[in-house]
């Protein structure tokens, strides 16, 4: 596909401080919305991502906001939309740098209100570039779309055995940091995922440590409880280094994290406000805005959200799993703390007869329950935050830690 079409970014005679992506183009002190073409459709139309660019009156870093890579994660979309809308006004005069927003990364998922697209029945957030991933087949459409977006975010040329995507034409839009907005599941507490930094061929351990420290500063500024990502071996096995934030962080070396903002399919107004507040908290931490220049309509980060109910570091964990099939009856809800050995759920037969219990094998707290009540042998019964004593900076090939 030719990514140099009429609606792709171009330079402008207004000067080097212009920020442009797709048809959105903003001189210093301006705000603009537009479209970024990423694919051609069989109908002859184009697959376009909605974009917005808020360009501050003064120079500074560029913060990217993405949402809707899963089409049913409505609050993430709304957070990106509302955060940039809050910048469109008096804030632009105080902004030192730019915010580039893509509220809907997966229009095909949004059209069917589903996690997956109709391009392929697989997660669209597992196809961003990773130089260490090899494939004998040509890249599918989702990989091509993700590579084009990645090139715009990072300002890099993407090269694989069968696909090359040049740096997307544009001016001043390569990211200095990225926030990817999601939702976690039904009745889920909000949290921020902090990925581990992998070192090896891509970067040294010292470089990874410095990047991890910078990431931690931004995660804390967002104001939601932090939850570390899976250990390195599981992280790579699940292709999370090829998620939006995972690729931008571990492939490109740009601080990036994922905000998980409650349930799917509907906008949660409480968490919408918390997400917008988090974006502005990161903007202040990056130096895009002074704290006193935050709009009156935007909360302090973390306001209205309960802190983590435990005082130790935690990581994501899908489980524990049931050894018997049946109907799950939970004993705990999102936000409840537990200790190793506590019963988290009962499994009963459809008749109601007891079949077994599911217990925790470590300390932590509940992020959310799995959707549905029917469980087969080996199914997880929840999404948990469990105690994590592992390192945040690890070799790519590291095992469990």
According to the model, what pLDDT value does residue 132 have?
A: 82
Helix (H) or strand (E) holding 47: strand 46-55
CA dist., res. 213 & res. 269, Å (int): 31
Cβ neighbours around 389 below 10 Å, total: 8
State mean pLDDT over 110-137.
88
- The residues that bridge with 55 in the sheet, in sequence order, are 30, 98
The residue to which tokens 């910078």 are assigned: 214
State mean pLDDT over 201-206.
93
- φ, ψ (nearest 5 deg) of residue 367: -85, -40
Q: Is the pLDDT of residue 231 over 50?
A: yes
State mean pLDDT over 328-333.
97
For the chain, first and last CA: distance in Å? 42
Asked, as a colleague might, if the bond just before 320 is cis with ω within 30 of 0, I would say yes
What CATH number labels 19-293?
Answer: 3.40.630.10
According to the model, what pLDDT value does residue 171 have?
A: 64
Positive/negative CA dihedral, 109, 112, 118, 121: positive
Beta strands in 188-313 (DSSP E): 191-194, 197-199, 226-228, 256-260
Burial of 291 (C-beta count, 10 Å sphere; 0-12/13-18/19+): exposed
Q: Is the pLDDT of residue 281 over 90?
A: yes
Average confidence score pLDDT of the chain: 91
State mean pLDDT over 96-121.
94
Q: Is the pLDDT of residue 367 over 50?
A: yes
According to the model, what pLDDT value does residue 331 have?
A: 97
| Spatial contact of 79 and 68, defined as CB atoms under 8 Å apart | no
Burial of 286 (C-beta count, 10 Å sphere; 0-12/13-18/19+): buried
State mean pLDDT over 375-401.
88
According to the model, what pLDDT value does residue 139 have?
A: 87
Q: Give, to the nearest 10 degrees, the angle between helix 269-286 and helix 74-87.
A: 50
Q: What are the domain boundaries of the chain?
A: 19-293, 314-387
Give whole-number Cα distances, 33 to 99, 279, 282, in Å.
Answer: 12, 19, 22
User: Helix (H, G, I), strand (E, B), or coil: what is residue 134?
Assistant: coil
What CATH number labels 314-387?
Answer: 2.40.50.100
CA dist., res. 365 & res. 54, Å (int): 38
294 against 14, higher pLDDT:
294
The residue to which tokens 């509940």 are assigned: 366
- φ, ψ (nearest 5 deg) of residue 21: -145, 125
The reported pTM is 0.93
**pLDDT tens per residue across span 39-93:** 999 999 999 999 999 999 999 999 999 999 999 999 999 999 999 999 997 789 9
CA dist., res. 14 & res. 30, Å (int): 12
| Spatial contact of 80 and 103, defined as CB atoms under 8 Å apart | yes
**pLDDT tens per residue across span 138-185:** 889 999 999 999 999 998 877 765 567 766 666 669 999 999 999 998
Beta strands in 147-244 (DSSP E): 158-159, 164-165, 177-182, 191-194, 197-199, 226-228
Query: Parallel, antiparallel, or unpaired for β 393-395 and 197-199?
Result: parallel
Positive/negative CA dihedral, 13, 84, 65, 208: positive
User: Helix (H, G, I), strand (E, B), or coil: what is residue 100?
Assistant: strand
């Amino acid at each position: 596909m030719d990514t140099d079409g009429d609606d792709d970014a171009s330079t402008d005679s207004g000067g080097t401080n212009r920020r442009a992506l797709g048809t959105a183009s903003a001189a210093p002190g301006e705000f603009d919305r537009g479209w970024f073409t990423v694919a051609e459709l069989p109908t002859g139309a184009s697959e376009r991502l909605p974009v917005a660019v808020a360009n501050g009156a003064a120079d500074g870093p560029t913060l990217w906001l993405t949402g809707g890579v899963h089409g049913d994660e409505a609050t993430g979309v709304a957070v990106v939309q509302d955060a940039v809308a809050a910048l469109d006004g008096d804030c632009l005069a105080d902004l030192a740098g730019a915010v580039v927003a893509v509220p809907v990364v997966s229009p095909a998922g949004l059209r069917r209100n589903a996690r997956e697209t109709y391009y392929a029945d697989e997660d669209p957030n597992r196809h961003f570039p990773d130089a260490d991933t090899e494939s004998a087949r040509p890249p599918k459409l989702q990989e091509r779309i993700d590579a084009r977006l990645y090139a715009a975010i990072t300002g890099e040329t993407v090269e694989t055995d069968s696909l090359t995507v040049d740096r997307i034409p544009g001016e001043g839009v390569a990211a200095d940091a990225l926030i990817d907005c999601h939702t976690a599941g039904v009745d889920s507490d909000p949290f921020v995922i902090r990925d581990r930094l992998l070192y090896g061929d891509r970067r040294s351990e010292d470089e990874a440590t410095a990047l991890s420290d910078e990431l931690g500063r931004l995660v804390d500024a967002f104001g939601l409880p932090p939850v570390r990502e899976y250990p390195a071996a599981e992280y790579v096995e699940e292709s999370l280094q090829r998620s939006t934030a995972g690729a931008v962080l571990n492939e490109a070396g740009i601080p990036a994290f994922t905000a998980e903002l409650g349930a799917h399919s509907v906008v949660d107004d409480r968490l919408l406000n918390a997400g917008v507040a988090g974006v502005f908290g990161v903007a202040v931490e990056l130096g895009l805005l002074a704290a006193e220049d935050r709009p009156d309509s935007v909360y302090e980060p973390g306001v209205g959200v309960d802190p983590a109910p435990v005082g130790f570091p935690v990581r994501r964990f899908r489980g524990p799993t049931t050894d018997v099939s049946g109907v799950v009856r939970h004993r705990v809800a999102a936000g409840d703390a537990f200790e190793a050995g506590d019963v988290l759920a009962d499994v009963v037969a459809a008749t109601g007869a007891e079949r077994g219990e599911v217990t925790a094998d470590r300390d932590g707290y509940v992020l959310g329950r799995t959707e549905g009540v029917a469980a087969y042998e080996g199914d997880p019964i929840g999404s948990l935050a469990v105690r994590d004593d592992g390192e945040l900076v690890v070799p790519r090939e590291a095992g469990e830690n």
